[in-house]
Structure 1
Amino acid sequence: KRKRENFKPDRLEQEMDSFHQKVFQGYQSILQQYRNDSTFIRIDASGSIEEVYERVMKILNLQLGGIE
């Protein structure tokens, strides 16, 4: 969650937890459906922006064969 003074939550951030849980379950269902396919790759987005960026770049490099 963002922490800023004068921060106004957008429409998605104002949704109830049940909405976010349904979205999460939908993504989990897609991942399960394509678990043996490289169409979808789950990326752990916990951690700092830099850590997530490094995870994404590592996966892209593996999938695309060494991008800069």
Structure 2
Amino acid sequence: MYKVQPDFNEDNSPLVEIIHLDCALWATHLLPIFGEGFIDSDVTCHNSLDSFSSFYVNKFIDHQAFDIIF
């Protein structure tokens, strides 16, 4: 699996871009890299991107389950 993590500017602010939905080809699985400690009980699917610093991209996902519609 590929390991990904967010980029930051020189002032330590997050480097962000807006990607239009019509540019996304298919869904992907991001698996958080948990580390050694316990996970806070307030981590949900809504704030998990902000709660973890790096993720694995599951390249073994069945991407053919998501058909590209033209």
Q: With structure 2 as the length reference, what TM-score do the two structures score?
A: 0.29
Q: Which has the higher strand share?
A: 2
Q: With structure 1 as the length reference, what TM-score do the two structures score?
A: 0.29
Identify which of structures 1 and 2 has the higher relative contact order when contacts are C-alpha pairs closer than 8 Å and 6+ apart: 2
